[in-house]
Amino acid sequence: MSTITNNKLDLETVGHLINGKTTHHDGPHLDIYNPAKGEVSKYLEIASEHTLNEAIISAQKAFPAWRDLPVIKRARIMFRFKELLEKNKDKICQLIGEEHGKIPHDAMGELQRGIENVEYACTAPEVLKGEYSKNVGPSIDCWSEFQPLGIVAGITPFNFPAMIPLWMYPLAIVCGNCFILKPSERDPSSTLFIAGLLYEAGLPNGVLSVVNGDKDLVNLLLEDKRIEAISFVGSTPIAKHIYTKATANGKRCQALGGAKNHAIVMPDADIDNTVTQLMGAAFGSSGERCMALSVAVVVGDEIGDILISKMKKAMEALKVGAYTDNTNDFGPLITQEHKHKVSSYIDSAENQGATIEVDGRNIVVKGCEGGYFIGGTLIDNVTADMTSYKEEIFGPVLQIIRVKSMEAAMQLIDDHMYGNGTCIFTRDGEAARYFSDNIKVGMVGINIPLPVPVSYHSFGGWKQSLFGDLFAYGPDGVRFYTRRKTITQRWPSTNLREGKQFSFAESASYATSEK
């Protein structure tokens, strides 16, 4: 993306959402592209420090009343928000398609996952009830409350402009916080539209702000002392930077990074089902998702040959094109730069000795010749020392590694720097249980290629795929956006019960026993 200085075309300019209103400020802009055409479609305002300060001040003003609003009333706003998301799903998916390039069925799946997180936020009266113990000592009760942090912020990536923000702010807000969202500068329109729906549902002004910008805005968020916590999803190098800088500035931080998700294909796997599952998991959403299944580790050459043959046949039917045609299987990559990056990984695999079985580098989509398309790509004979194996490709590329045993396959996965998701295809329950018990990865599937947890569990990886102690959304999300306060209470007797009063000696005895 390039900064615009002069000669802007007559296109829409995307601003910010602050204090419940869409705002525009003079300043630099970025181009927003239609990736299917390779053309500028809109402009994006870049927030200044003044813009961010305006958002933070509005949150500070809103927080006391929002924190004190009964949780059931906060939940009712989320119920109305859910209804509005469902009512406006076609509009939201159109906005995603225009700026991300995602095919409607993928966009609809993304939105549905986001809606499920709003549904979980509706359970706030239950998940925020706290804990209570009566008579922990003579006439002494003890309980824990889960109180909001204050102002928290989220930094979200381009690949899920609807879903990942909905991982964050509905739960943070229903827990009583105010939230500042910095979405991706590449496809912000659906994110802004959805945030507007939350205000339509009755959210008080200032509780949610959406501020657009680039890395300079990210650094301002990380440095501002008024922001208590940061949630981030993106690449591992940036996640590590975010976590390091946020925690150094005294903030709570969860930073989700990259992935290299493996599927072990055992000799007894249902191969036709495996092929079907791999097709969607490897190529859906153009492979631009941190749960994309990018490596199939086949145990034995015989099953490897069969898998390659069947995958090549299935990939002949893959249809790639613009989001406007729902019969397409997937769309373009997000930018020209990313297209070149994905192509370079395919080049490097070929140069290092791998076999390109299906090559998507030279695909041309009729009517979209300027688009950022790469077709489904299948690479065999990949080894662990190849660059394309070590790094996250983030494109529609499936690599095949051949090993002799399940133990070798698991060792390969455990040795990789990423530990986001993995799965095994097998009919053997003993093998599946051993795999799930022992593999060093955060999310595991058994004959499920994309083991993304439902909204009432939590999402996160191990190793270099997550920085921080708590996963995203679900129960961990509640704990991340609240802080525990434990209260121990005693009311002295006033001689109402047999004239007995709790004595100083008894109080001292209780305190001593606790130490």
Calpha distance 300→267 (Å, rounded): 7
Indicate the pairing of strand 39-45 with strand 29-34: antiparallel
Phi, psi of 123 (to 5 degrees): -85, 10
Q: Which two tokens stand for residue 234?
A: 């993106």
Any idea which residue has 């945030």 for tokens? 195
Among 93, 178, 290, 423, the one annotated catalytic: 290
Q: Which two tokens stand for residue 386?
A: 């190849």
Question: Are 418 and 392 within 8 A, CB to CB?
Answer: yes
Q: Which two tokens stand for residue 224?
A: 């501002």
Any idea which residue has 């893959």 for tokens? 318
Angle at which helix 189-200 crosses helix 89-100, to 10 degrees, equals 160
Phi, psi of 182 (to 5 degrees): -110, 100
Calpha distance 299→297 (Å, rounded): 7
Q: Where are the alpha helices (DSSP H) in 185-300?
A: 189-200, 215-223, 236-248, 271-283
3-class state of residue 176 by DSSP: coil
How long is the chain?
515
Calpha distance 403→301 (Å, rounded): 8
Beta pairing partners, 256: 233, 466
Distances (CA, A) of 197 to 18, 21, 62, 250, 440: 14, 12, 18, 33, 40
Which amino acid is present at 30? L
Question: Are 279 and 314 within 8 A, CB to CB?
Answer: yes
3-class state of residue 252 by DSSP: strand
Calpha distance 385→365 (Å, rounded): 34
Distances (CA, A) of 305 to 35, 133, 432: 36, 61, 23
Q: Residue 290 catalytic?
A: yes
Residues with Cβ within 8 Å of 251's Cβ and at least 6 positions away in sequence, in order, are 222, 227, 228, 229, 230
Indicate the pairing of strand 140-148 with strand 151-155: unpaired
Q: Which two tokens stand for residue 417?
A: 């720097």
- Nearest-CA neighbor of 264 among 292, 291, 300? 300
Catalytic residues: 290
